[in-house]
Homo-oligomer: A and B are copies of this chain.
């Protein structure tokens, strides 16, 4: 689909003379790595959402904080937009570059600065990979809890920018719940510390505000994460159901029974078959749905919970409940789940991964709604998702070479997200808004709410140079998208439209 970056955003900022900027950068920052040729820039044209591509004007790869500081100051003076990115694994185009902007790659800031077992925290640079933190903490029997599926590759700076989740966030929270402190550079290149080493911080909670702000408020330069003790034991139950709705209802029943599983995941028949073909996890391929329920903690507690969850599952109508016999089977059960996306990729030329969140109790109804929509649009949908926290990932299967299928997939995706909003949910769970869902934000929020968002943005970045065109739509965009009310031809706060 190769959608070029919305020119209205670039248009509102002064045109940049690439050659002049390159010269100036080379002069001010002689030891900064800068990519500028077409072939060098090409690999950076997209992040994990490859449907959207834009060649950045320049890519810079700093190694030292001072370089980033001076770069930001210079860009601020020259009114050059900046998009920061880490590993580029994001799935919503949050790090999509700008034709008229600099792509600031923070990947070389990849040092673990401190692992403090007594204080139960780690201080790391933003380019450190998520999994590397847990590996560094492992000798102390500690780990960093949020575990997005991309954890082997994604970096902590991006996790902060997108407030990343993962399989275990039902019990252990999102990124925002696992942070102590974030050091940032403002758009003007000033150093700022959000949060503190203590539990709480006075004034407005800027750390929470910043987490998930998708690069619009500042550039992450250091992250202090909380570390947790590794659970002594983890066990997994697999339950099969003859309908997705029954499985959906069982999810609510487990939580209502007062149990918080370490992970509670659901897959429907299409996903089960695809994963089983690929990984041979031992899934029951005739089941309409399975639940994977991980219980972790101390031995006796886990034992007890396993028994209670088994009872809940059986009462909820499970046709089969299996406890992974040993660690090897437990790992196999998870391997099937964790590889479900590539597994689906094997049975369809293309798929479109959605990300919406709904209140848990709405699961049965929304799953039924997705089945109906799937039939209406004539496209298969595989469901594999974080059921426990209501974070759905419907995968819409299509063939981009069949005329009209891509458009139908996009339309179906939009309908699914609208369904999520209609039941009190939201248009994103853990993947963020980025460039992808900027129009859906108009459906989720009204003009008053968007005006507050723009005001908050202006408090950090009054000139709108940081990652413009992502996350928060302009009111004009929403007016054009048709989801917003324009009063007497006037939008409130027209001066904010430059974002």
Query: Known interface pairs A202-B433, A204-B456, A459-B452. Does A258 touch B424 (Cβ–Cβ under 8 Å)?
Result: no
> Is A19's beta carbon under 8 Å from chain B?
no
* Residue pair B204, A453 in contact (C-beta under 8 Å): yes
* Residue pair B197, A258 in contact (C-beta under 8 Å): no
> Is A383's beta carbon under 8 Å from chain B?
no
A119–B255 Cα distance when bound, in Å, is 9
Interface size class of A (residues with CB under 8 A): 35 or more
* Residue pair A424, B209 in contact (C-beta under 8 Å): no
> Is A177's beta carbon under 8 Å from chain B?
yes
**What 0/1 pattern do residues 289 to 312 of A give for CB contact below 8 A with B?**
000000001101101110000000
Copies in the complex: 2
Q: Please give the distance in Å from A305's CB to the nearest CB on chain B.
A: 8
Residues of B within 8 A of A361 (CB): 118-119
Query: Known interface pairs A202-B437, A433-B203, A460-B455. Does A196 touch B300 (Cβ–Cβ under 8 Å)?
Result: no
> Is A176's beta carbon under 8 Å from chain B?
yes
* Residue pair B301, A426 in contact (C-beta under 8 Å): no
Residues of B within 8 A of A163 (CB): 200, 205
> Is A261's beta carbon under 8 Å from chain B?
no
* Residue pair A459, B455 in contact (C-beta under 8 Å): yes
> Is A425's beta carbon under 8 Å from chain B?
yes
Residues of B within 8 A of A271 (CB): none
Q: Which of A74-82, A99-107, A441-449 contacts B (4 or more CB under 8 A)?
A: A441-449
For A198, A358, A472, the residue with the greatest tally of chain B CB atoms inside 10 Å of its CB is A198
16 CB contacts below 8 A, A to B, read A119-B360, A120-B256, A196-B426, A197-B359, A197-B424, A202-B427, A202-B428, A202-B444, A204-B209, A208-B208, A298-B305, A301-B301, A451-B459, A452-B460, A455-B455, A459-B459
